[in-house]
Structure 1
Amino acid sequence: MTHPGTSLREQLWSPVQNSTLWLGWWLHGLLSTDDLIDAFQDVQGPAHVLRTDPAADDPFDGRLGQAGSRPTGLVDLFHAVREVTRDAPVGLAERPLVGLALAGAGDPPPLPAGSNGAVAVTETGAGITVADADPDVTHVAVPRVLDRSLVEWTWYRCEGRGVPAPVLGPGDADRMLRDATDRAAGLVAASGTPPVRHTAPRLAVGALSDAFGLPGLPPGVSTRAAKLMARADVVASIIEVTRSSNAGAGLDPLLLPLSRAVRTARTTAVDHAMRELLR
């Protein structure tokens, strides 16, 4: 289950989606560090602090200098990502250097079950996975908004094979999203639920879609990935507008598979965009 403090919107969209792509573009030499800092501040917030898993002696395995040295800021986060991915294999058959981890009700993150990183992503809804040279090690940076201007990132080192994520192309993920939308609409109609009433529903969906889509993606993201994320934005907006209607949260059991399809579409789009950089 998702942590009670995680809102529906955080389950359906997180700025971590966009931040993962900006970070990947930087790792592949397509952005300067200054551009990356600007992007993270625009996407996530103006101030950042980096912590490490309090249960781990050294989650960086000695790769960030002397024992006991702990990074504390945004530049340190980028340095940590650079160091742990330095010897990670790069190729279409390999896992991307960074990826998007999302979690929701009945939908665990692609991390070793029970690991501190998996628990943190489940509680917050999203994190950035970072590859390691060791295929049995995955790092994850998980953000929490402490207030309107400060984002706290916590770095976790996870050992073991994670829950396998669905291996889908953007076309498959898009069809899954369409099918889930059609099934949800049919179930809502069959349930006898009164028609959804919402003030200017098209305007509400459009406004939420715009909010989900901001503040943008790095230049050169594949068209298929961008379109898939945009479709996920629209469906996520429909879910939120539906839940704020007269029917309210009573439709949750019918919308749960649709929410899972939205998360699958987002993780697939990020994965596809990262792999397209290698073609």
Structure 2
Amino acid sequence: MTSPRPTLRHSLREQLWSPVQNSTLWLGWWLHGLLSTDEIIDAFTEVQGPAHSLTVDPGSGDPFDGEFAGRPTGLVDLFRAVRAVTSDAPVSVQDRPLVGLALAGPGDVPPLPAGTRGAEAVVASGAGITVADVDPEITHVLVPRLVDRSLVQWTWYRTAGPVPALTVYSPGDADLILREATETAAALISSDGHVPVPHRGPRLAVGALSDYFGLPGLPAGVSPRSVKLMSRADVVASVIEVARESAVGPSLDHRLLPLSRAVRTARTTAVDHAMRELLR
């Protein structure tokens, strides 16, 4: 008996791009004193949405002694919480960044202790922001959920335990993986007799989606190598979506799943590299 073919668990755009990517960088820039609180509030409002709330997952313990219980919360509370847990965390190029991008999808596990509620939440949503702690075996993670299309509800999870050993890529390695995966997928799709993009204006379709994936902007001073890698991921993500919107799109999942994984690798690598470059 053969196992079922994997499918895209989330919508395609959630698999290929999340505003959490850009929000992680804005948050990191603020933590390192490169932005004012007003600027980070404006950035989160533009990137994620106009209204935000913060809750603490009851199954993760409450690192804030119930401070947020029973009252409305917002972005200022979120930023204060991140500042509090990272205040004594080590800061160097060799240490884990104060914040990081966590993505999950078929073939990918988030950089969090396995089996924890935080890891499960990232798998369920597809994206989250990891937050460092002075204790190397404690990782916090913020997971957003859109409520009623207007409110971004952030849930704070505290996870304990060693983080799974993950392969660390340089921007050059991640870019190579992305290019090789793209070439392999294109060759396999062609060999199957499929046309990977619609006949009507594929370049315009890819360009329009690239604009979608690439918005909104990034904080000033992000490493050019990181920007280039995220831009290439935007283009590949757009090609994947255009391919799946073609007449044969649903039959291409088994070709596109490895490519979507390469896109996620590129994005997490780009964010990690940008955060480390701040310390050089």
Q: Distance in 1 between matches of 2:133 and 2:19?
A: 23
Partner deviation per Cα, 1:3-22 (whole Å, 9 max, x = no partner)? 84x21101110000000000
Look up the match of 1:124: 125
After superposition, the Cα gap between the structure-2 partners of 1:133 and 1:195, relative to the gap in structure 1 and judged at 3 Å, is: closer
Equivalent residue of 2:59, what SS?
A: coil
Q: Distance in 2 between matches of 1:119 and 1:127?
A: 11
Q: Counterpart of 2:34 in structure 1: which amino acid? A: L
Q: Counterpart of 1:221 in structure 2: which amino acid? A: V
Q: Which runs of 4+ in 1 moved over 6 A?
A: none
Contact 2:196 2:246 in 1 (8 A): no
Q: Distance in 2 between matches of 1:85 and 1:15?
A: 22
Q: Out of 67, 70, 81, which is 1:69 matched to? A: 67
Instruction: Give 1:242 deviation, angstroms.
Output: 0.2
Q: Distance in 2 between matches of 1:194 and 1:150?
A: 39
Any residues of structure 2 matched to 1:194-273 within 5 Å, and which? 194=195, 196-273=197-274
Listed as ranges, the gaps of 5+ residues in structure 2 are 1-5
Tell me if 1:137 matches 2:138: yes
Q: Counterpart of 2:59 in structure 1: which amino acid? A: A
Tell me if 1:52 matches 2:56: yes
Q: Distance in 1 between matches of 2:266 and 2:120?
A: 22
Contact 2:198 2:242 in 1 (8 A): no
Q: Distance in 2 between matches of 1:47 and 1:195?
A: 38
Q: Counterpart of 1:80 in structure 2: which amino acid? A: A
Equivalent residue of 1:55, what SS?
A: helix
Q: Distance in 1 between matches of 2:179 and 2:43?
A: 31
Instruction: Give 1:194 deviation, angstroms.
Output: 4.7
Q: Distance in 2 between matches of 1:215 and 1:147?
A: 21
Q: Distance in 2 between matches of 1:195 and 1:216?
A: 29
Q: Distance in 2 between matches of 1:3 and 1:153?
A: 24
Q: Which moved more, 1:234-243 or 1:190-199?
A: 190-199
Q: Distance in 2 between matches of 1:82 and 1:194?
A: 50
Instruction: Give 1:198 deviation, angstroms.
Output: 4.1
Equivalent residue of 2:96, what SS?
A: coil
Q: Distance in 1 between matches of 2:164 and 2:61?
A: 25
Any residues of structure 2 matched to 1:101-180 within 5 Å, and which? 101-180=102-181
Look up the match of 1:26: 30
Equivalent residue of 2:128, what SS?
A: strand
Contact 2:60 2:117 in 1 (8 A): no
Q: Distance in 1 between matches of 2:142 and 2:166?
A: 18
Instruction: Give 1:159 deviation, angstroms.
Output: 0.5
After superposition, the Cα gap between the structure-2 partners of 1:198 and 1:43, relative to the gap in structure 1 and judged at 3 Å, is: farther
Instruction: Give 1:104 deviation, angstroms.
Output: 0.7
Contact 1:121 1:142 in 2 (8 A): yes
Look up the match of 1:43: 47
Equivalent residue of 2:219, what SS?
A: coil
Look up the match of 2:3: none
Listed as ranges, the gaps of 5+ residues in structure 1 are none
Q: Distance in 2 between matches of 1:43 and 1:198?
A: 33
Computed over aligned residues only, the root mean square deviation of the Cα atoms, in angstroms, reads 1.4
Q: Counterpart of 2:67 in structure 1: which amino acid? A: S
Partner deviation per Cα, 1:73-101 (whole Å, 9 max, x = no partner)? 11111001000001100001100000000
Instruction: Give 1:247 deviation, angstroms.
Output: 1.0
Contact 2:197 2:242 in 1 (8 A): no
Residue correspondences, number: 272
After superposition, the Cα gap between the structure-2 partners of 1:17 and 1:2, relative to the gap in structure 1 and judged at 3 Å, is: farther
